[in-house]
Amino acid sequence: MDRREFVLGAGAFAASLPGASRVAAAASRRLALDERASANVVIAPMLPEHYDMKNATLGAMIDAGEAAGRGALPKVRALFGSGRIG
């Protein structure tokens, strides 16, 4: 998914919300995209499709985040080793 698709997808989500929530969701998404663009490392877990927040769903989301974090460790270690951060 390229950045344009990501932004359009976020717009569709924001459009489904009522009034002020729509504005807040769009502003939050814009901020997230701006921060992501300037990040040294982006950890973006591949979250499973879900329709609830049951314990099994939350566990799957945590597992996805952990896997993404572990996958990013080499980049994080390289940044600390380079002296660019820390």
pLDDT (tens digit per residue) in 18-27: 677 777 777 8
Residues 6+ apart with CB under 8 A from 45: 61, 64, 65, 67, 68, 69
Q: Give 4-14 pLDDT, tens digit per residue.
A: 333 434 455 55
pTM of this prediction exceeds 0.85? no
- So what's the pLDDT on residue 21? 77
Higher pLDDT, 66 or 85: 66
- So what's the pLDDT on residue 15? 57
- Per 3-state DSSP, the chain is made up of helix, strand and coil in percentages (nearest 5) of 70, 0, 30
- Termini Cα distance of the chain: 32
- So what's the pLDDT on residue 68? 94
